[in-house]
Amino acid sequence: MSTDNLLFAKTHEWVKVEESDGAKVATVGISAHAIEALNDLVYLELPEVGKEVTAGESFGEIESVKAVSDIYAPVTGEVIEANSALPDNLDSLHEDAYINGWIAKIKITDDSALADLMDKAGYEKMCAEEG
């Protein structure tokens, strides 16, 4: 998948927004940059389907041998699907974070947080500045 049409949060989550049955649905994952930084992944906690999430708040957790990191909801809405195959196959995050590595799908109930997300160029610039 091309990352050109994705949006990115400052906390390293990616978002792909699509229309589904008249609603905006955000597919959310962790950026390849963040996965590389975490390196040896050992655990992933997915959000529960039906959970109401708020942009900027933790809705999951990923753990590597080096650190535990929260996964933040980049949008506000209801989790309508979680990638249940992912916790048993964390290698798929390294293989392709933007196709099989999605974390959850969120039916957006308030799209105002989309304005806070960056395009690919803005995200790459932020990552380069972080070093």
In order along its 131 residues, the chain shows pLDDT tens digits of: 678 899 999 999 999 999 988 899 999 999 999 999 988 899 999 999 999 999 999 999 999 998 899 999 999 999 999 999 999 999 888 888 998 899 999 999 999 999 999 999 999 999 999 87
Q: Which residues pair with 71 in a beta bridge?
A: 60
Q: What is this structure's pTM?
A: 0.93
Question: Could you tell me the domains of the chain?
Answer: 7-122 (2.40.50.100)
The DSSP secondary-structure symbol of 21 reads: T
- The Cα–Cα gap between 28 and 98 comes to 9
Secondary structure, 3-state, 35-71: HHHHCCEEEEECCCCCCEECCCCEEEEEEECCCEEEE
- For the CA atoms of 30, 72, 74, 85, the dihedral, rounded to the nearest 10 degrees, stands at 50
